[in-house]
Structure 1
């Protein structure tokens, strides 16, 4: 139930255009008939998608795959913020929230008594909406709060979430964007009948209950966007690119004045207008028989009646004839974002925009990758296509290095655009992109969830699936001149919008003020007859599948190095890892060397040439050094396994020190370190590490400024040259057998007779949480972010079943005690949770964490509410049984596959286990009673000390309030970051 982030939309919509096939194919729309239903399909479609149109106009798209006993489902409406009424922006989004509240059949324990009160709330909101006098508005709101509280006595909060959780559903959520509102579930394959019964009822006649508390959650969501400079930049660039189109005139979350003046009447009108079958789609991918599934869906949704949808008039934009420059200010690091306008998603030019995005940024061999990132001319830079229905946008963004102006950033980005117009790019770049898209197609087809996402985005954007499948063949035929002509048509020096994100205080921010809300009843112990009916519906049993590490993992050796391998029998992809059980704690320079490698070449090849060669092979590499683990990962097509491994071995063994690259890298590191101090999320990570380990902790275990200045290129290169001389393992997932991997790597991966031990690791001991403390960091923000941290006892595997069930019940989802109490009942936060975390190594301690992100003026109420829950565990037998059932069903339908098997094995080893730990949770959880988890709660949480990690504006919180929580320590950024 979230505002779908804009950058995510780009990824999924763009991905739809990559859904092609690995070889040139003849794609044609055909018609098929089966089980009494007619459907359309595209020949040679790797997703085998069937397109049905039911009698009432409902679109159903089914893509069957039986790799896992689960189904990804989307119920999508072609309506989003662009179809919001101009007088009620944000309406589509908060309607999305309300569609979790139930109907007259569920979500209520006495509809006959609840309805008159809800009708009264409706009337009060209309009166509130039309009243201008603030004194009278406050009086009306008091009455809204009073009557809403009375109505809540008959409401059953989160009953939808209880039903889905009880089925073993995962990822229960929804999102709203410009032109789509989508309801998301990932369900076990045996829960289809229950799922469809719930969705039938959900969309039949939604009731807008618990509205004023949910609207407060939307207020919180709005305030979170006010603290996010990236959101503000996107809003500004769309506002400027689209002054006439609703992409720019309306934001998804809406205007503050509209959020403050909601109309339930307008919400119902919107629902009646847009939530009609001819404007909706049901998209599923997973383990099912499509002939059986379409009949079930038809039966569930045939009650819906087709209806004309209000005409949407596309706001037409005039061409941009001169650059338009805007500014946004805020506490985050400076940047430049640029946007060029393109035609909408259904056009050929929008498909070609995806190619342009890859030519500029593909992570390895794009123009921006090679010219600006590898050469470190900018701190970072990228480009990507933002494909929407009315119009599309090419977005470019760059961050300056130290001392660089935003004008210089913009100029460097424009120079890369000019290279497209002039044809100053490699002749084989287009073919390399085609090769990598072929690999991408295989990757996307691996998971049922990605299939469903692609098909859903195509549906809401009206993209022709056949055209998407033909994309590879389409771009394969393009010439350099075609690209130059295309760039000259759309990408000039004068037809763009640029937003300069500058450092400063945003004085234009007007937060949504906190209304007075009396906590409402959530009636945890009550169940509607409908919920009982769903629970009693029969379902086939899904038997869990446990890992057997001895059987599931093939083993071999390359001299003294162990090879652990899982065979890929599905496709031609491989993933290869060199794994070191050591990292930054052994050598603080290891992460720096790992990152420095991307800027280095060998005696025979430049860094740019190596990147191009990897990209031509449709392969890639990454070196990642964490605190206690280091991974060198290679991935690509199996046909290129030997070439990929050999290319990387040559690079790491023969990379040459580059002083110029190091000088630029040091400057980037210093800029990155400065930027980190301007990021509230990173600051909070530092506070949490401080709470766990004290003043000297893993977060600030970094080089000092003096050590960084003294760093030499030879020091880093020597670390890289010597890396494979240390003890490590080889991990592999791919078509080769373990023996085949060993045979190939014996010739490529040179292993010395004796492998060395890494330098002794620095140890960080978790400190006792011996008293209540507050660690405070000042940040210019509207909200306050609070984490509770407590180091508990040492790891005990016997507690895993109790902990898993406790987390499911207490703080792990929208149906949990924490979410129900703090958000649903008290409207104190948009996001809140709590969990009891077990460590990843048997020597370490468990950790208790709780979180609330809230308005600063709700700090006292929010901390009190969470502390009450940490002190006394509310009892709900119904919720407890739902948590227990859902936990077992989720585990039963889970399949750990591919290289996940190897990583599960390594994780088990660190915990001293030689078995799949999920089995004990599955077997033991039925025996656990509420009394058991209540005892666990009392032993681990009640009356315990906590460290409160708080990031907020010092102007919006009071020291006396913080001192009530515990001993107050205000940390400087130097104390937090170590530099």
Structure 2
């Protein structure tokens, strides 16, 4: 449809120009008009890129503001896809937390074209449910609330008769997609798939329809899943430690004041109207991006995306500026749970787009890399504690460096904290081998090459360029920036940010968890229709693209053979099969042994 509109506009524009010209000038006018049209089309498909980008990323911006990140890689006929929205839990209303996460769940329920047998008959019931949830939300009397929820349950049961279950999954399965999923975090909500390279058209049709007019059906049954997720988080000691840490690090920022799943009070009083409002506010093209990494021609793919997505109008998007004042004291909190005792320490720095991100990349590896970090050698290796690790969380507004530690038997958490802080002091004092910095950069180079060989890893590497506003050159040339960081730089950064008077420590002691759970309301089980198929889904299933032609290995041409001799062992030879790696510097060697069947168990013990 959009393609036809564009062609019609170009035709009308051309006709007007020609009609206004004398016959003598007609040839010149047609030539100028053709050139103008070609230039206009070329401008639509202009893209940004970064010199020497190993991802070969193209960043397109559609006329409605939607971003498209294309990273071609032809090692296998697959494509990893993301549709990302700058709509994480940070943007949830303070009085209705959990909306972004709710919405993520509901985007799998269909539209007015799929997920339903008869939307016209279904819609009145859905409208009643939406209004009843508003009444339920505003009612305080428990007995009245039970009556209202009984109404919701009854009408939801009737509405479910019109629903067709799992039609989105039917379509992705039909096109051979794998890993279909979604996730919501502080800054973003992202919908992911891995599709065969010949299914681009079907996938784009599915996603364009998915975001055209989503219908939030089967809502109260989906609440059960969210309630269960919340209750699991309340029973998870580590989860509660993270929530406590962030609450104290960010007391005036949504990173700390609200969680992705939402508060119990808000979960018990959901609002479909607020969820729809959230969708209309944030799920707009100028706040969304498509990321595709894999086997495709970007010149062809961007035109396919344009046809499906350029017709959605843009809207102004709220852009709140959340500020979290720096901490000026050590803060200690104690929580209780059934697991063994442990603690977490955390500091905050500037966000993902800042240079702080590079420093944290180095510092976390200096502290912990499973082999030669300060915690590895000085703490774990010397068995000062049971185990200690370090990591960091890169977010748009702020980053968090955090260290986990588990005490030995009869060791206090206070003693563990002191041991960990001693290693932070070593960072500040430069008590680490400078060779470690070079080793970390070398290891990051290896990780980059491995990332480039994996479509999913490519996509996740590019994601912060959109959702966290990290400049693309900072992502693709991270190794060059890491090389510039010196030992003095690390010391100065640690002295500035990792002080003794600006961190939070959470002690998790063994005891009874007193946190209340979400009480699930009585819900009548619905019998979902899994047999029927809507017309839209039938159309997708019937669209059969050109099959992918398999590429078979030619053992005579593709694999080289050689024989290795062992001068020290007479008559000992080993056959070597090898293939040069023309893509990067990575090297892999695998040994295969032929063993007597009776000796398998013995050799397995030896190898282990």
In the other structure, the counterpart of 1:75 is 83
In the other structure, the counterpart of 2:72 is 64
In the other structure, the counterpart of 1:441 is 448
- Of the candidates 532, 536, 540, which is equivalent to residue 546 of structure 2? 540
In the other structure, the counterpart of 2:586 is 573
Q: Distance in 2 between matches of 1:110 and 1:158?
A: 16
In the other structure, the counterpart of 2:364 is 357
- Of the candidates 299, 318, 322, which is equivalent to residue 291 of structure 1? 299
Matched residue of 1:574: which SS? coil
In the other structure, the counterpart of 1:282 is 290
In the other structure, the counterpart of 2:14 is none
- Of the candidates 243, 252, 260, which is equivalent to residue 260 of structure 2? 252
Q: Distance in 1 between matches of 2:457 and 2:575?
A: 30
Q: Distance in 2 between matches of 1:439 and 1:318?
A: 37
Contact 1:345 1:391 in 2 (8 A): yes
In the other structure, the counterpart of 1:236 is 244
Shift of 1:574: 2.2
In the other structure, the counterpart of 1:21 is none
Matched, 1:167 2:163: no
Contact 2:345 2:403 in 1 (8 A): yes
Q: Distance in 2 between matches of 1:579 and 1:136?
A: 71
Matches within 5 A, 1:370-769: 370-507=377-514, 509-544=515-550, 565=577, 567=579, 569=581, 570-577=583-590, 759=602
Gaps of 5+ in 2: 1-40
Matched residue of 1:205: which SS? coil
Q: Distance in 2 between matches of 1:57 and 1:483?
A: 39
Shift of 1:521: 2.8
In the other structure, the counterpart of 2:230 is 222
Q: Distance in 1 between matches of 2:146 and 2:216?
A: 22
CA RMSD of aligned residues (A): 2.4
Higher relative contact order (CA 8 A, sep 6+): 2
Contact 2:451 2:458 in 1 (8 A): yes
Matches within 5 A, 1:256-275: 256-275=264-283
Shift of 1:348: 1.2
Matched residue of 2:587: which SS? strand
Distance change in 2, residues 1:562/1:228 (3 Å): farther
Shift of 1:553: 9.4
Q: Distance in 2 between matches of 1:430 and 1:214?
A: 48
Distance change in 2, residues 1:308/1:171 (3 Å): same
Contact 2:284 2:313 in 1 (8 A): yes
Distance change in 2, residues 1:580/1:82 (3 Å): farther
- Of the candidates 340, 343, 355, which is equivalent to residue 350 of structure 2? 343
Shift of 1:351: 2.2
Matched, 1:157 2:130: no
Q: Distance in 1 between matches of 2:563 and 2:345?
A: 51
Matched residue of 1:182: which SS? strand
Distance change in 2, residues 1:346/1:158 (3 Å): same
Matched, 1:177 2:185: yes
Distance change in 2, residues 1:554/1:363 (3 Å): farther
Q: Distance in 2 between matches of 1:321 and 1:225?
A: 30
Q: Distance in 1 between matches of 2:382 and 2:590?
A: 27
Q: Distance in 2 between matches of 1:149 and 1:541?
A: 42
Contact 1:340 1:394 in 2 (8 A): yes
Contact 1:281 1:459 in 2 (8 A): yes
Contact 2:461 2:475 in 1 (8 A): no
In the other structure, the counterpart of 1:188 is 196
Matched, 1:108 2:116: yes
Distance change in 2, residues 1:563/1:147 (3 Å): farther
Contact 1:35 1:291 in 2 (8 A): no
In the other structure, the counterpart of 1:334 is 341
Q: Distance in 1 between matches of 2:494 and 2:356?
A: 11
Q: Deviations over 1:407-449 (max 9, x none)?
A: 1211111111101111111122211211111111111111111
Work out the number of aligned pairs and report it: 558
Contact 2:53 2:477 in 1 (8 A): no
In the other structure, the counterpart of 1:948 is none
Q: Distance in 2 between matches of 1:204 and 1:757?
A: 59
Distance change in 2, residues 1:498/1:531 (3 Å): same
Shift of 1:383: 1.1
Q: Distance in 2 between matches of 1:512 and 1:552?
A: 60
In the other structure, the counterpart of 2:31 is none
Distance change in 2, residues 1:349/1:758 (3 Å): same
Shift of 1:313: 2.9
Matched residue of 1:459: which SS? helix
Q: Deviations over 1:128-183 (max 9, x none)?
A: 11111111111111111110111111110100100010000001110000010000
TM-score (norm 2): 0.87
Matched residue of 1:392: which SS? strand
Q: Deviations over 1:46-94 (max 9, x none)?
A: 0000001110000000000111111100000001111001111111001
Distance change in 2, residues 1:237/1:579 (3 Å): farther
In the other structure, the counterpart of 1:937 is none
Q: Deviations over 1:566-608 (max 9, x none)?
A: 5352322123456789xxxxxxxxxxxxxxxxxxxxxxxxxxx
- Of the candidates 87, 101, 122, which is equivalent to residue 93 of structure 1? 101
Q: Distance in 2 between matches of 1:365 and 1:208?
A: 51
Q: Distance in 2 between matches of 1:320 and 1:426?
A: 30
Q: Distance in 2 between matches of 1:235 and 1:553?
A: 55
Shift of 1:457: 2.7
Q: Distance in 2 between matches of 1:491 and 1:516?
A: 50
In the other structure, the counterpart of 1:118 is 126
Matched residue of 2:245: which SS? helix
In the other structure, the counterpart of 1:308 is 316
In the other structure, the counterpart of 1:148 is 156
Matches within 5 A, 1:775-786: none
Q: Deviations over 1:317-348 (max 9, x none)?
A: 23222211111211222211100110111111
Shift of 1:265: 0.3
Q: Distance in 2 between matches of 1:236 and 1:286?
A: 40
Q: Distance in 1 between matches of 2:47 and 2:396?
A: 25
Q: Deviations over 1:759-811 (max 9, x none)?
A: 4989xxxxxxxxxxxxxxxxxxxxxxxxxxxxxxxxxxxxxxxxxxxxxxxxx
Contact 1:34 1:291 in 2 (8 A): no
Q: Deviations over 1:8-47 (max 9, x none)?
A: xxxxxxxxxxxxxxxxxxxxxxxxx969610000010000
Shift of 1:399: 1.0
Contact 2:341 2:508 in 1 (8 A): yes
Distance change in 2, residues 1:378/1:564 (3 Å): farther
Gaps of 5+ in 1: 1-32, 582-726, 729-754, 763-979
